[in-house]
Amino acid sequence: MDGNGRWAKKRGLPRVEGHRKATEVVRAIIEASQNIGLEVLTLYTFSEENWNRPKDEVGALMGLLAEFLKSELPKMMKERIRLYAVGNLSLLPGLARTALQETIRLTKDNEGMKLVLALSYSARGEIVKAVREIAKLVADKEVSPEQIDEDMLAGHLYTRNLPDPDLLIRTSGEMRISNFLLYQIAYTELFFTQTLWPDFTKEEFLSALQDYSRRERRYGMTSEQLEGDN
């Protein structure tokens, strides 16, 4: 969800106003996702690198996160949305971490759409964490190196209880992944748009999904092989 600061700057507003507007778009995209029956929606909310931003901006973002979770909890319960969070959550300040943990706890039995917030998230950090955990298992002789496979590595990622993404949408015209789900997006379709996140609409979201639906996902096979499977 990129472009909040640029959106505010273009309007002569403080950066935090771009982030505030962004939360309105988040609500609209969550609603649109529910309406079409999307099973999982993951939002790259705050990267581990974002801690390097000015302290006042980081503080405002954490405040907006806590505010958003508290205001949206009744709707999550009504719509049976289950909240997940992936990332180094121990770095979150107390108020935001408490609000996040409470929302996760209260929605854990909900059986509707899974809403995943990537917070204090780094894909490289996630992979390093997984490798360290597996290395300890090997050192403790609980597993042998020969037993290590893709499933084992995936089982030590933050996303171990979630499917790999089908589609990744990057807003604001940036043509990069920015350390997001690097292991999980091996076969994910990518969609880039020039639209800044605060201007991203439900209509453009649905258009991206329509574009995705027209693509052929071959997973290394040929079109003829796929047609044969059908």
Residues that are catalytic: 2, 50
Which single residue is written with the structure tokens 């995936």? 154
| 63 secondary structure, DSSP code | H
Alpha-carbon distance of 19 to 61, in angstroms, equals 7
* 82 backbone φψ class: left, alpha, beta (φ>0; ψ -120 to 50): beta
Under 8 Å between Cβ of 103 and 117: no
Write out the H or E segment, with its range, that includes residue 170.
strand 167-170
Q: Cα 139 to chain center, whole Å?
A: 32
